[in-house]
C-alpha cells in the first residue's frame, strides 16, 4: 500500500530531510510538498493525503490556518496532522491542540523522532514501517517531546514571533541597504540549539541572512548542513527569538590542532515575516 504524505515547510532543506527519512521507513511513498499553506490547500484539493507534516511559521499562510482549514473539510477532518515548529511554549501547543493537531515535533529534530511520530500515526492507518528501521535501538525507549509532555507544566518560553499579528500575507522585502545591514555587537546571549546538543555562541557578525560566531570546542560538534535553531535571548524584553537555520561552515578558530574554539557560520532558512522583522529590529538597534 502506498503512503500518501504531504510535507509543508518554507525551507527546502527541512522538506528534503523529512522525505529522505520517510523513504527509508516505507517501501512505497507518494510525496507532495508545499512551501506554504496556500499551496498545500491546492494540493489537498487535488489528492487527499494520508498524513500531513506541516511547519507552523510560514509566509502567505501559516500552519495554524492550514490546520483549521483541514479540520473543516469533511474529507480531511480525521487526517493525521503533525505540527513541526521551533516554538515550544506551552500556550502555543495548547492552541494547536484546540485547533486539532494530532502530534508535535520540535525543531531542530532528529530523524529518529520523526520516525517514531509518523510510525505511530501510520500504524493506525494499517500501514507498517519497515521492521529494519523500527528495530533500530535509536528508535526504541528514547524520551522525546510530545503533546502530552508539553501540555503538563513545562516551562513557558516567550517567543518574539508569538506577539506578532498571526499569519502575515507577505514577508518584508528589505531594500539594498537593509538587506546588507549587519551588527557585530548583540546585547544579549546567543545559543545554537541542535536536536541533541546546544552550544553557547559568541556572536561575531549578524545579518538578515546569516550569523557568524565562535563556540567552545566540544565532543559533539556541529556538522555542515545540520539544522538548528539560533536562540537570540534579549534580556531587555525577556524574550527569545528562535530562528531556524543550517550549518554553512565549520572551522577551527585558530590554525592549531589545539584550538579550544570553533568558528561557525549558520545561514537562516526561515521566511517567516515576524522572525525577519525581529532580526531587522535587532540589527537596527545594534548599529
Q: What is the pLDDT of residue 157?
A: 34
Stated pTM of the model: 0.66
**Residue 87 CB neighbour total at 10 angstroms:** 20
Least Cα distance to 247 among 10, 13, 12 occurs for: 13
Q: Are residues 85 and 123 in the same domain?
A: yes
109-118 pLDDT, tens per residue?
Answer: 888 889 999 9
State the pLDDT at residue 89: 59
Q: Which domain holds residue 231?
A: 160-286
User: In this structure, are 138 and 175 located in the same domain?
Assistant: no
Q: Is residue 200 part of a domain?
A: yes
Same domain assignment for residues 170 and 144: no
pLDDT on residue 148: 41
In a shared domain, residues 206 and 270:
yes
Note whether 92 and 228 are same-domain residues: no
Q: Are residues 136 and 35 in the same domain?
A: yes
The answer to whether 219 and 269 are in contact (CB under 8 A) is: no
pLDDT at position 214, please? 94
Q: Tell me the mean pLDDT in the region 132-155.
A: 43
Q: Which residues of 215-239 are buried (b: 16+ CB within 10 A; e: fewer)?
A: beeeeebbeeebbbbbbbbbeeeeb
The pLDDT tens digits for 152-181 are: 433 333 333 333 333 444 444 444 444 445
Same domain, 24 and 136: yes
pLDDT at 154: 36
Residue 193 lies in a domain: yes
Per-residue pLDDT at 168: 40
Residue after which a domain boundary falls, among 120, 150, 180: 150
Q: List the CATH number of the domain containing 120.
A: 3.40.50.2300
User: Are 142 and 174 within one domain?
Assistant: no
pLDDT digit string, tens, across residues 36-53: 999 999 999 999 999 999
177 and 121 in one domain? no
The CATH number covering residue 256 comes to 2.40.10.220
Residues 91-100, mean pLDDT to the nearest whole number: 75
| Structural domains counted in the chain | 2
The domain boundary, picked from 122, 150, 178, lies at 150
From 150, 178, 197, the end of a domain falls on 150
Quick one: 224 and 204 in the same domain? yes
155 lies in some domain: no
> 2-15: per-residue pLDDT in tens?
999 999 998 898 99
The percentage of the chain sitting over the pLDDT mark of 70, rounded to a whole number, equals 76
| 91 vs 253 pLDDT, higher one | 253
Dist. CA 191–CA 245, nearest whole Å: 12
Amino acid at each position: 500500500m502506498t503512503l500518501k504524505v504531504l510535507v509543508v515547510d518554507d525551507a527546502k532543506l527541512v522538506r528534503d530531510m523529512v522525505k529522505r527519512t520517510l523513504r527509508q521507513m516505507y517501501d512505497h511513498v507518494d510525496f507532495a510538498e508545499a512551501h506554504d499553506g496556500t499551496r498545500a490547500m491546492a494540493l489537498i484539493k487535488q489528492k487527499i493525503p494520508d498524513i500531513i507534516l506541516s511547519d507552523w511559521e510560514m509566509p502567505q499562510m501559516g500552519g495554524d490556518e492550514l490546520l483549521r482549514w483541514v479540520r473543516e473539510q469533511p474529507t480531511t477532518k480525521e487526517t493525521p496532522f503533525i505540527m513541526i515548529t521551533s516554538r515550544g511554549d506551552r500556550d502555543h501547543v495548547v492552541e494547536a491542540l484546540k485547533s486539532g493537531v494530532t502530534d508535535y515535533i520540535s525543531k531542530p529534530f532528529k530523524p529518529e523522532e520523526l520516525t517514531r511520530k509518523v510510525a505511530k500515526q501510520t500504524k493506525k492507518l494499517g500501514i507498517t514501517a519497515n521492521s529494519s528501521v523500527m528495530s533500530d535501538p535509536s528508535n526504541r525507549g528514547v524520551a522525546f517531546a510530545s503533546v502530552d509532555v508539553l501540555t503538563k507544566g513545562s516551562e513557558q518560553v516567550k517567543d518574539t514571533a508569538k506577539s506578532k499579528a498571526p499569519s502575515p500575507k507577505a514577508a518584508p522585502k528589505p531594500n539594498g541597504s537593509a538587506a546588507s545591514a549587519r551588527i557585530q555587537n548583540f546585547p544579549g546571549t546567543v545559543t545554537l540549539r541542535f536536536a541533541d546538543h546546544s552550544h553557547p555562541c559568541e556572536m561575531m557578525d549578524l545579518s538578515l541572512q546569516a550569523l557568524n560566531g565562535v563556540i567552545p570546542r566540544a565532543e559533539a560538534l556541529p556538522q555542515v548542513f545540520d539544522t538548528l535553531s539560533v536562540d537570540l535571548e534579549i534580556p531587555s524584553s525577556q524574550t527569545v527569538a528562535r530562528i531556524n537555520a543550517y550549518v554553512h561552515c565549520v572551522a577551527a578558530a585558530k590554525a592549531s590542532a589545539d584550538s579550544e574554539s570553533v568558528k561557525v557560520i549558520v545561514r537562516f532558512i526561515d521566511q517567516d515575516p515576524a522572525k525577519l522583522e525581529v532580526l531587522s529590529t535587532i540589527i537596527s538597534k545594534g548599529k
